[in-house]
Amino acid sequence: MESKCIYCGKDHSLSESDIIPDALTNARILNRNVCGIEHNNRFSDMFESKVIDALAFITNELDIKSSKGKKYASYDAVITVEGTDYNLKLHGDNEIFNGRVIKSSDNTHLISSYDKTVKIAKDESKVHPLDINAIEIEKKIKINNEIFFDSAMHRMLSKIAFEWYCSKNNISGYYNEFKDIVDFITTGNGTNPVSIIQEEEIYKMIDQQVNLGSHTLLAFEKGDGEIDVVISLFGLLIYRVVVTKNKPSICNNNFLYVELRTDSLRKELVHHSIEEAQQKFVEMLAPEKFMKAGVVNGVSIMVPKVMEPVSNVDLYPLLFNLTKYFISVGKDAIGPNAKVNALFLNQLKNITQSSTLQKKSIKRFVNETFYEGHEKIRLNTQSSNKKATVLFYSIYLIGMSEEERLDDKILQEILNEGLSCSANAEVVVDDEMEKNLKSIMMADEGYSDVLEKGAAKVINWQN
């Protein structure tokens, strides 16, 4: 079939559009029927880059970065050292003191390596040594939660919902049924199709089923031909986007689901309708169906029919319940309110206090912390960084392990034994656990060397 832009119908200069901007996910999904200049590149300037910049702290926390860029996105932070504030840009948690010059907010203090500082001060007596392993460092990050209610966010969510629904229905060309959402995405004018789910129970249900930091998309049809797409963005907030009030008759797939995980894995379901999905689900649960394969010595041989893969079978009941709720309850919020803010803060706390221990996050941590020429690691009992503590402890376990070479299976065993959790699991760290892990390591006189040994194994771990 001929390809045409879903926004304007143009049949040339089409491009691959990242349905979710590349910088916001490690699991890319594409729509190839979007023209390059007018409707792919321009969206980036019109609204996507604003959202990407504002979410840099979140993508850092989740180890998500653009496949095009080398570095993680930077974000503004304020650190307080001995009562003085320093403003700086961070790419990650673990690279505050990496030899660069940090100037205090009031321009009266500088922090850098000792040699560099003496050079700048031209007088050693003016330089005051800091033991970065013993000082208390307070780090403050301003999270701009306004972005979650900003028109740029609403346009981006509308674009995600529209392009995803179209890609799963192989839509090519412009359809008048999508006029409202196309107008809103391309101009920001017209009725805003986005609202916010504010029922706490829904957040809990989705959290239980999906991985930390995943994007989750669910499309369904309301009785009257309206298509809604519900988007859980990093699990932070859940939005509903009305894609059309009246779907084009060529759209056959109207019950859709995908989970896009931070480790780039995905789970996907495509069905014509919720009824068809329910039918499939019942069939999956039915006792194995056998068929006659032949008669051998008078005995009928029965073999099981080829079964459809049932790996996602556990998902269906949740999706049926969610859809039922989304179809019948219309009590969404259209902007921030006390309920929505409380939900957002709670979800944000989950993300910042949980570590997903996967190869990618462990490798990143080692590269940023055990870079060439770094000083021996001494843990700081004065400052708290829950994620870093769990990662240090994982490196410590790797260092203690007798295994010289790492692979996914060995990592799994090491974490299982030492932290009673599996790789890719979420580890939620509270104050007590942080204290415990630190004291286990610090009770070992040689822990700095063990950490170096563990880090070396991670650095040598090839794909």
Binding-site ranges for Zn ion (CB under 5 A): 5, 7-8, 10, 35, 38-39
Nearest-approach distance from CB 135 to Zn ion, in angstroms: 55
First vs last Cα of the chain: how many Å apart?
39
Nearest-approach distance from CB 150 to Zn ion, in angstroms: 24
The structure tokens listed for 279 are 């039918």
User: If you write DSSP's letter for every residue of 230-246 in order, what string do you get?
Assistant: EEEETTTEEEEEEEESS
Nearest-approach distance from CB 187 to Zn ion, in angstroms: 13
Contact between 410 and 402 under an 8 Å Cβ cutoff? The reply is no
Secondary structure letter of residue 146 according to DSSP = G
Q: Which is nearer to Zn ion, 8 or 77 (CB)?
A: 8
Q: Helix 200-209 crosses helix 315-328 at what angle (to 10 degrees)?
A: 160
* Inter-residue long-range contacts of 67-74, CB under 8 Å, 24+ positions, other chains counted: 67/22, 67/28, 68/22, 69/23, 72/364, 73/23
Q: Which is nearer to Zn ion, 47 or 149 (CB)?
A: 47
Contact between 69 and 363 under an 8 Å Cβ cutoff? The reply is no
Nearest-approach distance from CB 37 to Zn ion, in angstroms: 8
Q: Which is nearer to Zn ion, 18 or 228 (CB)?
A: 18
Cα 326 from Cα 329, distance rounded (Å): 6
Q: Which is nearer to Zn ion, 7 or 239 (CB)?
A: 7
Q: Which is nearer to Zn ion, 8 or 30 (CB)?
A: 8
CA-based nearest residue to 60, from 368, 334, 384, 414: 368
Q: Which is nearer to Zn ion, 8 or 318 (CB)?
A: 8
The 3-state DSSP class for residue 392 equals: helix
Q: How many CB atoms lie within 10 A of CB 385?
A: 16
Nearest-approach distance from CB 421 to Zn ion, in angstroms: 47
Nearest-approach distance from CB 177 to Zn ion, in angstroms: 17
Nearest-approach distance from CB 172 to Zn ion, in angstroms: 12
Q: Which is nearer to Zn ion, 39 or 387 (CB)?
A: 39
Cα 413 from Cα 355, distance rounded (Å): 17
Secondary structure letter of residue 82 according to DSSP = T
Q: Which is nearer to Zn ion, 172 or 448 (CB)?
A: 172
Pairing of strands 102-103, 110-111: antiparallel
Pairing of strands 227-233, 215-221: antiparallel
The structure tokens listed for 266 are 């995905």
Nearest-approach distance from CB 12 to Zn ion, in angstroms: 10
69 contact partners, CB below 8 Å, separation of at least 6: 23
Nearest-approach distance from CB 244 to Zn ion, in angstroms: 18
- Phi, psi for residue 90 in degrees, rounded to 5: -115, 145
Strand segments, DSSP code E, in 305-453 are: 354-356, 426-428
Nearest-approach distance from CB 9 to Zn ion, in angstroms: 7
Q: Which is nearer to Zn ion, 155 or 261 (CB)?
A: 155
List C-alpha distances in Å: 267 to 103, 113, 216, 315: 46, 47, 9, 10
Nearest-approach distance from CB 17 to Zn ion, in angstroms: 10
Contact between 231 and 215 under an 8 Å Cβ cutoff? The reply is yes
Count of positions (residues) in the chain: 463
The structure tokens listed for 247 are 């779907």
Nearest-approach distance from CB 34 to Zn ion, in angstroms: 6
CA-based nearest residue to 137, from 184, 91, 86: 86
Which ranges constitute the DSSP H helices of 216-337? 274-285, 315-328
Q: Which is nearer to Zn ion, 4 or 387 (CB)?
A: 4
Q: Which is nearer to Zn ion, 7 or 203 (CB)?
A: 7
Q: Which is nearer to Zn ion, 175 or 220 (CB)?
A: 175
